[in-house]
Structure 1
Amino acid sequence: MTTPQSALPPPPGIYVPIPTFFTPTSTLDLSTQLTYSLHLLSHGITGLVLLGSTGEAVHLTRTERIQLITYIRRGLDTAGYHATPLIVGTASGSVEETLQQLHDAKEAGAGWGMCLMMGYFAGSVGAEGVGGVGGWWREVAEKAEIPILLYHYPAVSNNLKLPASIFESLGTHDNIVGAKFSHADIAAHSAVTLSPHLDPSNFRVYTGLGQQLLSVLLVGGAGAIDGLAAVCPKEVVALYELGMRFLGGRGSEEERRRVLEMARRLQWCVARAEELVVTWGAVGVKEALRRRGFGTGGVRRPLVAWGEMEGRTEGWGEWEGRLRAVEGVGEEVGAFLKGLE
């Protein structure tokens, strides 16, 4: 295996970690997968992330993974989205299996891999062994055929929290082009995004939590790979655009004040609605999409679909109200931004 000679990070913006849709018999629903992907792109999403946590990557076989990536890449190309970034997740603790998944992703048409550091041996690694975590990522990067992003998600990695020094060290590797941070620690974001040891044009950090998007942009983040954007794509894109417009310093002082005011309003609504994703993960996202005409809401065991969770479905009205609030403010933001053009 040979690594790319000139690895570039994905463009800044909003990416959706899209769920994997299943038919009622739990096979891949590729038709819905593509229809939904095109729906997202029509609302301004920068790129797609397949087979991440929301995509139930650990529930798919190698054959299914290849089939899904291939179908989406070909479908996007046929629809004219040739340049749309396609990032594919890996979730294996084995270096060799991770490299195989990255090879398969490349052959199927993906441009980047997003590699989750598994935490099975977190107890053994401990504070003295975080170099082993960095070594794992470095070995993958040195042998991978596509550039990779480091996926830091303590909640699914045995709560292993990594220091900024690891990302400062790895962020200069030619084949490591960014990271996704799925934790709520803004200080940790800042320690990496503002580090003088890293070049933000070569190593970009994306938050996995849309409820902190505005804050992350203000400390140099590149955008988000965000679960709520799966349900409210144009609204999360609008929040990103407000943040970038404010940071760009365009317009009069009054216009910038209004931009920040609108951004804060939308961020508050997004933060409240994001609790759906935080609480229910892929199950909640799929149920929200089912109610919007995408898929059946089906998941694979050990996850249980929304309708099968006894005594929990009556609370959906509150979630729907929060989603509608995001959409309502999003409409105001859209009109506001259009007026500034």
Structure 2
Amino acid sequence: MSVPDRTNGTNGSSGAQASPPPAGIYVPVPTFWAKEGTASYDPVSPPLDLDTQTEHSLFLVKGGIRGLVILGSTGEAIFTRSEERNQLISSQRKALDDAGYKDRPIIAGTATQQIDDTLKMIEESKAAGAEFAMVLGPGYFAPATSQQGIQKWFQAVANKSVLPVMIYHYPGVTNDLYIAPATFEKLAAHPNIVGTKLSHGIIDDQTLIAASPRIDHDHFYVFTGLGQNLLPVLTIGGVAAIDGLAGIFPRIVVRLFNMFNESAAKGTSKQDMQAMRDLQFRICEGEKLVAAYGVIGIKEAIARLWGMGSKTGGRLPLAGGFQEGDKEWSKWAETFEGLKQLEEKFKSEGKEA
């Protein structure tokens, strides 16, 4: 793996073509807050728990995760102060570097509506150690927003962004903002826009982007935001996934990604295809929790299965975790204990790290 050039993505107005992040499985990491009962705990706005954050980051990269998305939707970006954002990014960049993982890029999320605020956040993220910016679409006025307006908004950000820009298309958190495949074709031509995370299940739109002959796919990478779609998206030209379940079971999701690429290189057999389908099935079983509970479910599983973090969830209004605690977890326990056993089996084989 090559070490990323951290000067990549100089001001987009220079016209120089930026490079996309290396292909592989990325995790939108949760942000860990101080646990109840600790001296620094505040029930309204608990501080960062950087020790657990680092423990989780190293757990992921040792499991083969290619890079981290910090302060995306799963990272509760909208509940995080500016100084906390910078502290979070810089601490994890240092932790990765110190542990020998300088080649694992950090993608910093933004979730602002205003262009200048977005650019400032990207600039601060770069100073803290991020290599790419994943920019959420502006959805406040989604019903009245035209495709031309979306195109011009992202182009305005990319023109001045000091980091390469990835388009984060997640209708579920942007008031159902819709970005059409034709708009992606136009945006993909921008020298400082290098990819997208598609967090929706519209498989025909994903195909029209990932397989479009009007997009330079060496410059613009398509990542699915849904691990349950990983195998289908790989077959239509997508690069990989930025996936929540991989934050719990990194080796399982990485294994499917590796299986696909290895089998494609040598010629996919029926046995290869069946093995990939079986693994995709297991991933889909686990993704049901992620789809149902989002960051709350991810944190619950990480705490219960691996002992990292707290089951009490996020900052208000997400604080509290599962409302019915053990009763709700019992509905998922069999599936997740089975996935944990599979994760540990893959760890013993030592293929992903």
The TM-score with structure 1 as length reference comes to: 0.92
Shift of 1:123: 2.0
Aligned counterpart for 1:203 among listed residues 201, 207, 220: 220
Shift of 1:258: 1.9
Aligned counterpart for 1:114 among listed residues 128, 134, 150: 134
Aligned counterpart for 1:188 among listed residues 194, 205, 211: 205
Give the structure 2 partner of residue 11 of structure 1: 22
Counterpart code for 1:205: V
Q: Which runs of 5+ in 2 are unaligned?
A: 1-9, 36-40
Counterpart code for 2:308: F
1:13 aligned counterpart, secondary structure: coil
CA distance in 1, matches of 2:348, 2:83: 45
Give the structure 1 partner of residue 182 of structure 2: 165
The TM-score with structure 2 as length reference comes to: 0.89
**Cα deviation 1:168-210 (Å, max 9, x = unaligned):** 0000100000000000111111101111111111000000000
> Taking structure 1 as reference, are residues 257 and 328 closer, same or farther at Cα in structure 2, changes over 3 Å only?
farther
Shift of 1:260: 1.3
Give the structure 1 partner of residue 69 of structure 2: 49
Give the structure 1 partner of residue 320 of structure 2: 305
CA distance in 2, matches of 1:336, 1:108: 35
Shift of 1:300: 0.4
Q: Is the 8 A contact 2:11 2:163 kept in 1?
A: no
Moved more, 273-282 or 256-265: 256-265
CA distance in 1, matches of 2:89, 2:33: 15
Shift of 1:337: 9.9
> Taking structure 1 as reference, are residues 62 and 331 closer, same or farther at Cα in structure 2, changes over 3 Å only?
closer
Shift of 1:104: 0.5
Q: Report whether the alignment pairs 1:321 with 2:344.
A: no
> Taking structure 1 as reference, are residues 81 and 329 closer, same or farther at Cα in structure 2, changes over 3 Å only?
closer
Overall identity of the aligned pairs, in %: 40
Give the structure 2 partner of residue 175 of structure 1: 192
1:119 aligned counterpart, secondary structure: coil
Counterpart code for 2:320: A
Give the structure 2 partner of residue 83 of structure 1: 103
The runs of at least 4 aligned residues of structure 1 exceeding 6 Å deviation read 331-338
CA distance in 2, matches of 1:258, 1:11: 28
Give the structure 2 partner of residue 287 of structure 1: 300
2:196 aligned counterpart, secondary structure: strand
Q: Report whether the alignment pairs 1:103 with 2:120.
A: no
- How many residue pairs match? The answer is 329
Shift of 1:335: 8.4
CA distance in 2, matches of 1:153, 1:290: 26
CA distance in 2, matches of 1:225, 1:279: 18
Shift of 1:118: 2.5
Counterpart code for 1:153: Y
CA distance in 1, matches of 2:72, 2:78: 9
Q: Is the 8 A contact 1:238 1:330 kept in 2?
A: no
Shift of 1:331: 6.3
Shift of 1:238: 0.5
Give the structure 2 partner of residue 261 of structure 1: 274
Counterpart code for 1:306: G
Counterpart code for 1:17: P
User: RMSD between aligned alpha carbons?
Assistant: 1.9
CA distance in 1, matches of 2:78, 2:248: 22
